Amino acid sequence: MLDENLVEVIGLKKYFQVGKNQILKAVDDVSFSIKRGETLGMVGESGCGKTTVGRTILGLYNADGGTVLFNGIEVHAQKGKAYKALTKQMQMIFQDPYASLNPRKTVGAIVGEGLDIHKMYKTKEERIEKIYNLFELVGLNREHANRFPHEFSGGQRQRIGIARALAVDPKFIVCDEAISALDVSIQAQIINLLMRLQSEYGFTYLFIAHDLTMVRHISDSTAVMYLGTLVEMGHTEAIFEKPLHPYTKGLLAAVPEADPDYEQSKPSPILKGEVPSPINPKPGCRFFGRCNEAIEICSRVRPDLIAVNEHHSVACHVVNQTNPISKSEA
Ligand X SMILES: Nc1ncnc2c1ncn2[C@@H]1O[C@H](COP(=O)(O)OP(=O)(O)OP(=O)(O)O)[C@@H](O)[C@H]1O
**C-alpha distances in Å from residue 215, one per residue of 85, 180, 251, 283:** 30, 11, 13, 31
Q: Which of 246, 250, 269, 278 binds ligand SF4 (CB under 6 A)?
A: 246
What percent of the residues of the chain are helix, what percent strand, and what percent coil, each to the nearest 5?
A: 40, 25, 35
Amino acid identity, residue 154? G
Q: How far is the CB of 177 from Mg ion (least distance, A)?
A: 6
CB 53 within 8 A of CB 30: yes
Which of 11, 12, 4, 173 is CA-nearest to residue 87? 173
Whole-number minimum distance, CB 231 to ligand SF4, in Å? 7
Toward ligand X, which CB reaches closer, 48 or 231? Answer: 48
Q: Which stretch binds ligand X (CB under 6 A): 45-53, 77-85, 135-143, 164-172?
A: 45-53
Look at residues 285, 227, 288 and name the one whose alpha carbon lies nearest to residue 26.
227
Name the residue nearer to ligand SF4 (CB basis): 214 or 224. 224
Of 61 and 172, nearer to ligand X (C-beta) is: 61
Q: 292 vs 252, 264, 272, 288, 289, CA distance in Å?
A: 16, 20, 10, 8, 9
Taking the C-alpha atoms of residue 209 and residue 25, their distance in angstroms, rounded to an integer, is 21
Q: Backbone phi, then psi, for 252, in 5-degree steps?
A: -70, -30
**Is residue 48 at the binding interface for ligand X, with CB under 6 A as the rule?**
yes
Q: Nearer to Mg ion by C-beta: 51 or 229?
A: 51
Amino acid, res. 121: Y
Residue in 81, 160, 159, 168 with CA at minimum distance from that of residue 121:
168
From candidates 41, 108, 278, 303, binder to ligand X by CB under 6 A: 278
Q: Which of residues 3-32 bind ligand X (CB under 6 A)?
A: 16, 18, 24, 26
Question: Among the candidate windows 43-51, 102-110, 236-244, 319-327, which touches ligand X by CB under 6 A?
Answer: 43-51
Query: Using the 8-state DSSP alphabet, how is residue 98 labeled?
Result: T
Rule CB under 6 A: say whether 294 interacts with ligand SF4: yes
What type of residue is 139? G
The answer to whether residue 308 forms part of the interface with ligand SF4 (CB under 6 A) is no
Binding partner of residue 293 among Mg ion, ligand SF4, ligand X, none, CB cut-off 5 to 8 Å per kind: ligand SF4
Stretch of 183-191, 206-214, 215-223, 314-322 contacting ligand SF4, by CB under 6 A: 314-322
46 binds ligand X (CB under 6 A): yes
**From candidates 51, 71, 187, 222, binder to ligand X by CB under 6 A:** 51
**Closest alpha carbon to 257 in 321, 208, 212:** 212
Residues that bind ligand X (CB under 6 A): 16, 18, 24, 26, 44, 46-52, 278
Residues that bind ligand SF4 (CB under 6 A): 245-246, 285, 287-288, 291, 293-294, 298, 303, 316-318
